[in-house]
Chains A and B, each alone.
Chain A
Amino acid sequence: MGEQGRGAVLVACSGLGLTRAGTTLLDSVDLVVHAGEIVTLIGPNGAGKTTLVRLLLGLDAPDRGRVERRPGLRVGYLPQRLAVDPVLPLDVGRLLTLTRSAPETDRRRVLREVGVPHLLHSPVQRLSGGEMQRVLLARALLGDPDLLVLDEPTQGIDFNGQVELYRLVEGLRDRRGCGVLMVSHDLHLVMAATDRVLCLNRHVCCHGEPESVRAHPEYQALFGPRIAADLAVYAHHHDHAHALSGEVAEEHREETGA
């Protein structure tokens, strides 16, 4: 990977390992996130993606290796799920100022930036999945973050909503120059909107630019050729462009059955 043209290192880890109750959850993971780039963690369920994010954020301490965050790094974190108990009255405006105060003009500005200015006074319990993610993104933006960390931001959002959300994140990166670390299941969509991919399965299977990861045998072995083919479609690399026909689906069934 060429290092030139990249921004400053925001967060880096090397040789990271975590063992819990005799099970190795992560082993010798190296990762760097620079300013201005979008890095995506992909991997099957239980691959340790969220575990890695928690270590990088300093929420848990690793058993092996170390994490270095740039001093004074401002992190905007979007957790995997945020469900507010109905007994707690909370509107969007108040959720925005959860960890820091901000005048109403700023609150309106960040909501406009993520495209939901009308939600300022809505109770958070009434938001849809997509609205909640946008509001959480706005909340993170209020702190003017150097690094955005998004843990599966498109869970429970329909296809169009997912595409829009990834575009939004890309736009924020372009405008603000912040680094983005994303955890995702939506391989096909993520591949199109990311600079680097790290494919994790307790260890780093492979990493690099989306195209090189896609071609990597370990990646193909993890996700199977059908999903690898989907990627080609959504990334608009027409050298692989075969439609999703019944034939392909059958092929996939044989794969998983084997």
Chain B
Amino acid sequence: MMDDFVLRALAAGLGVALVGAPLGCFVVWRRMAYFGEALAHAALLGVALGLLLDLAPTVGIVATCLAAALLLVGLGRHQPRLAGDTLFGIVAHGALATGLVVLSRMETVRVDLFAYLFGDILAVGPGDLAWIGVILVVVAVAMAFLWRPLLAITVHADLAAAEGIHAGRVHLGFMLLIALVTAVAMKVVGILLVTSLLVIPAATARHFARTPEQMVFAAMLVGVLAVTGGLAGSLWLDTPSGPTIVVAATLLFALALFQRVSPEARDT
């Protein structure tokens, strides 16, 4: 018999694991782990702005993540002198620090910083679950449409463009989807661990896949195992659930390293 809050936590975690899997694969293929990290850090500024403007923190987080994604895309296009990871580092820590400063000045509000930094999946309420569900459905549908063009520009941007795919638009669309998933995943594992929830299942899945689609399904499976195992572990050991989920994912990754796989999947 399980309590409602555990079921809600499980639903939120599994939703993020399933919808995050294809995005995580692209983050790994397109080497965008730093980008996800930057958005996650910017989310704390979103929390602060949300409280400052008297909005729900969720609205602030989603809006700030989307704005940070647009800013990074814009800077990447118009600042060719600085490498992407440099820009990401500046935006990430600039936003995180600004968020902390703003929060410290708001004397009337006491914010549970730990919950934002490391997630508080067991505190997911019915209302939270509803908007998490809506965002995840939007992301899943958009991802289904973006899948083929995004894979094409990942393999060769010019080749895709020569056949009529708008590489810039597709890339921008993907960045915005990452921003949405980051805003949701933050609730599950927190700002500091969001990227790991996208990247580790995908990286683990690489060992078992021969096609991009197989890698996504494998990443879904790894993500589901990590969320379920991590949540169970955290209840059993009385440890914080977000970090425990990431530890579970990391253990699965380590196991996969020792796994002997079929020769077709073990190329290069």
Contacts and interface: CB of A to CB of B under 8 A. Distances in A.
Interface of A: 54, 57-59, 75, 77, 79, 82, 84-91, 93-95, 98-101, 121, 123, 125-126, 143, 149
30 contacts: A54-B158, A57-B162, A79-B156, A79-B158, A82-B156, A86-B267, A86-B268, A87-B28, A87-B29, A88-B154, A89-B206, A89-B212, A89-B215, A89-B267, A90-B212, A91-B211, A91-B264, A94-B211, A98-B148, A98-B152, A98-B155, A98-B159, A99-B152, A99-B160, A99-B165, A101-B148, A121-B210, A125-B268, A126-B268, A149-B162
A94 B152 CA distance: 11
Contacts of B268: 86, 123, 125-126
Interface in B192-245: 206, 209-215
Contacts of A101: 148
Interface residues of B, number: 28
Interface string B155-174: 11011111101000000000
Contacts of A57: 158, 161-162
B265 interface: yes
B158 A59 contact: yes
B76 to A, nearest CB: 18
Contacts, number: 79
Given A89-B214, A89-B215, A125 B267 contact: yes
B151 interface: yes
Tell me the dominant secondary structure on chain A's binding face: loop
Nearest to A57: B162
A77 B163 contact: yes
Interface of B: 28-29, 148-149, 151-152, 154-156, 158-163, 165, 206, 209-215, 264-265, 267-268
Contacts of A84: 155
Contacts of B155: 82, 84, 88, 90, 95, 98
A77 B209 CA distance: 28
A57 B156 CA distance: 15
Question: Which has the most chain B C-beta neighbours within 10 Å: A85, A90, A101, A149?
Answer: A90
Nearest to B267: A123
Given A59-B162, A89-B210, A91-B211, 11 more contacts: A57-B162, A82-B156, A85-B29, A87-B29, A88-B154, A88-B155, A89-B209, A90-B211, A99-B159, A99-B163, A126-B267
Tell which of A94, A126, A143 has the most Cβ of chain B within 10 Å: A94
Contacts of A85: 29
A143 to B, nearest CB: 7
A121 B265 CA distance: 11
A58 B268 CA distance: 34
A88 B156 CA distance: 12
A204 B209 CA distance: 48
Nearest to A121: B264
Contacts of B215: 89
Given A99-B160, A126-B268, A91 B165 contact: no
A106 B195 CA distance: 40
Nearest to A94: B211
Nearest to B211: A94
Contacts of B211: 89-91, 93-94
5 interchain residue pairs of minimum CB distance: A123-B267, A77-B162, A86-B268, A89-B209, A125-B268
A98 B160 CA distance: 8
Contacts of A126: 267-268
A93 B214 CA distance: 13
Nearest to B163: A99
A98 B162 contact: no
Contacts of A149: 162
Contacts of A123: 210, 264, 267-268
A125 B265 CA distance: 11
B205 to A, nearest CB: 9
